[in-house]
Structure 1
Amino acid sequence: MPTHRVGTQEEFEAARQQLLVEEKELTRRGDELARKRRELPWVPVEKDYRFETEGGTKSLADLFDGRSQLLIYHFMFGPPYEAGCPVCSSIADTLAPNVIHLKARDVTLICSSRAPIDKLLAYRERMGWSFDWVSAGGSDFHRDLGLQYTEEELRPFLDGDIPPAVNQMAKLSGTDVLGYVTEGPGMSAYALSDGSVHRTYVTTARGLEPAMAYYGLLDRTPLGRHEDGEEIHWLRRHDEYGKT
């Protein structure tokens, strides 16, 4: 534990009250951004995407499962992977318990990956999750959202210095770097209105942090995320912590 400024309870309370003003401002700003997010124009989904599911082939509209809203987490698990991305797996740990609560608010939450459905379901069983998981490997669904890349597009990255964490995650996923980074994580939202599906929101990268609850908790600890300077990512699948 690094050394840190030590003060009195009175000094803490005064500094905490100053910080609280900024925290409240951030909360209000977050509410405003949420409103603007809801006001984005809806885009009709005109492609006839098809997904392989535990219950057979389904359309995008079928995935709503009787509700009017659909959230899809685009899980990095490509066709050559032997296991899901560890970071996406940590996100799925957070998503899984929320499925029942979102259903109560007319929202269906699922995951979508490009690996074959049998491989996805086997991994889901290993991880102990119960959410619906679909395979989009036979369509351009992920590609059309900007979450799947070609080797040509990735060439500048592949020809550079590959970060150690990327090599690490590729190995942990049972594939090479190209196979790993061909996939991208993301979340997309949809509305079903008068029988038509509309895309309402898409995000990736740090836009996914609301689904990474552990970061919000770490941000409130004495050391925070404590990731600066680390070349190897600390995240593991929940059944792999403690393994070398």
Structure 2
Amino acid sequence: MTMHRQLPETHPPVVSAEQWEAARERLLVKEKAHSRARDALAAERRRMPWLAVEKAYAFIGPDGDLSLLDLFQGRRQLIVYHAFFQPGVGRWPEQACIGCSMVADQVAHPAHLNARDTSLAFVSRAPLADIERLKARMGWDHIPWYTLTDDFDADFGVDEWHATNAFIRDGDQVFRTYSTTGGRGDEQMGNTWNYLDITALGRQESWEDSPGGYPQTPPYDWWVWHDTGETEPDRE
């Protein structure tokens, strides 16, 4: 049975199609300005200084012990989200933090980040068996998720809150390039575009304002079907 709910008494006016289109065009001007401002902010992120990661960190994954470098999975960039899933948080051990769970629900298939030489990892203090159980029940099998075992969270300022950190590597040397913490920062994450916009290399598309020598390709050329990893080279 469908419930009928009344609209608020103070809703905007009902107008003609012409008036609606005019209002939409006025708003579009501001939306385009907002997009350009976001692009400029992402360009500034790509010029952020890098912080060398000198300490060795240890994680546990399905195949055993891993280092931070291992989480890159051979790719050049890494995005790490610290999710609160551990004893003493929320409805442990049945559920992860409700906010972190909502973030996980938004995460697009990592194949699209992988196509830009970027890996994604979630890390939590929960034992791996609990992580695997939670992923299977919640439909998060596409998210690489590891147990952190040391001070990684505290060293990057996320031991008492969730956060997203971006890293890049030069061979075996890892650098921290960006971090966002708190609800308003992390609520933007999950979307492939927003993830790439916080990385040192960005979307790596030819229209971006990036430092000289950064990898760039035409837009759309790197888009893939996540089940095969194939691109559509004939796309115009």
Is 1:200 the equivalent of 2:177? yes
**Which of the residues 8, 15, 19 maps onto 1:11?**
19
Is 1:121 the equivalent of 2:132? yes
Q: Which residue of 1 aligns with 2:48?
A: 40
Q: Which residue of 2 aligns with 1:139?
A: 150
Distance 1:32 1:186 in 2: 23
Distance 1:187 1:61 in 2: 17
C-alpha deviation, 1:14, in angstroms: 1.4
**How many pairs does the alignment contain?**
177
C-alpha deviation, 1:77, in angstroms: 0.8
Aligned amino acid, residue 193 of structure 1: D
Is 1:88 the equivalent of 2:97? no
SS of match in other structure, 2:109: helix
Is 1:58 the equivalent of 2:70? no
**Which of the residues 8, 13, 17 maps onto 1:2?**
8
Aligned amino acid, residue 46 of structure 2: R
Distance 2:172 2:21 in 1: 55
Q: Which residue of 2 aligns with 1:25?
A: 33
SS of match in other structure, 2:40: helix
Q: TM-score, normalised by structure 2?
A: 0.71
Q: Which residue of 2 aligns with 1:49?
A: 57
Aligned amino acid, residue 197 of structure 1: V
Aligned amino acid, residue 202 of structure 1: S
Instruction: Please give the per-residue CA displacement for 1:96-115, whole angstroms capped at 9, x wherever unaligned.
Output: x3311111111111101111
Divergent runs of 4+, >6 A: none
C-alpha deviation, 1:39, in angstroms: 0.9
Aligned amino acid, residue 207 of structure 1: G
SS of match in other structure, 2:120: strand
Q: Which residue of 2 aligns with 1:211?
A: 189
Distance 1:18 1:212 in 2: 30
Q: Which residue of 2 aligns with 1:70?
A: 78
Q: Which residue of 2 aligns with 1:216?
A: none
Aligned amino acid, residue 85 of structure 2: F
Q: TM-score, normalised by structure 1?
A: 0.69
SS of match in other structure, 1:89: helix
Q: Which consecutive unaligned segments of at least 5 residues does structure 1 have? A: 150-183, 214-244
Q: 1:107 to 1:212 in 2, by over 3 A?
A: closer
Q: Which residue of 1 aligns with 2:110?
A: 99
Distance 1:208 1:197 in 2: 23
C-alpha deviation, 1:19, in angstroms: 0.7
C-alpha deviation, 1:212, in angstroms: 5.8
